[in-house]
Amino acid sequence: MLRWILCAALIATMTEAQSRSIPSSARAEAAAARVGVELRERLRALGADWGARLYLRIFKASDELEVWVDTGARYQLLHTWPICTWSGALGPKLRQGDGQAPEGFYAVGPGQLNPASTYHLSFNLGYPNAFDRAHGRTGDYLMVHGNCVSIGCYAMGDAAIEEIYTLVAAALAHGQSQVPVHIFPFRMDVGWEREHADSEWLPFWQQLAPAYQAFADAVRPPKIRVIDKRYVVARP
């Protein structure tokens, strides 16, 4: 009986490890070796373990990508990286070939990591999501990647993507099923609607604003659903 229990526990452990396996490459491993020590120190300074759950936010207008880390009661900002470049203008991506970098609510799972990217390292945002599909929007391979060129993607430069990719890969390897990436046109603080009242995208942006506010209030990522072709935010 004891042998059976031990075997069952071993199988369960192996199954769990296999379910958390992620794509890798010599390039990704070398990047992790370069940045891992400093990243671990930053996480420890916040009281977080290696592989802690993450939440990413992107702001187009200010060219920023934030990585927030789960430290228990709330998330804390680990670091803000400048976006090297993104293409298009403020507003969502609508169709294949429009050159627009997407806006909205996306998530990155293990299968979306590309450790052998043409642009050093990358991960796929998962566009089109359920909202995009409900509105007939098309396109694919919208990435966060290295280098500093973009056709609808968010290019971070090679040094930055090594850190961001390594953090995301570690979180997924340690059990986070998907890392949410919420992409906003700008910071949606008081007065943003008045400032952008004439934009054709105001109704769309008004669907993004509740998620921005929910995170500001709870400092935990809100859950997002698509109901009747609209984003609906459930507060954490």
Q: Which residues of the chain have pLDDT under 70?
A: 1-20, 235-236
Domains and CATH numbers, the chain: 16-234 (2.40.440.10)
Do residues 106 and 180 lie in contact, with contact meaning Cβ atoms separated by under 8 Å?
A: yes
Q: Is 145 a catalytic residue?
A: yes
Please give the DSSP secondary-structure letter assigned to residue 221: P
Specify the pLDDT at position 60.
Answer: 98
Beta pairing class for 179-184 and 54-59 = parallel
Q: Which residue, among 156, 54, 53, 55, has the nearest Cα to 101 in the 3D structure?
A: 156
Catalytic residue among 84, 120, 135, 153: 153
Rounded Cα distance between 25 and 30, Å, is 8
Locate 86 and state its tokens: 């993104």
Specify the pLDDT at position 73.
Answer: 86
Peptide bond into 203 cis (omega under 30): no
Sorted by sequence, the CB contacts under 8 Å of residue 74 that are 6+ apart come out as 218, 219, 220
Beta pairing class for 223-227 and 113-117 = unpaired
pTM here?
0.91
Q: Is 84 a catalytic residue?
A: no
Specify the pLDDT at position 10.
Answer: 31
Which CA distances in Å does 21 have to 24, 143, 221?
9, 21, 24
Specify the pLDDT at position 236.
Answer: 57
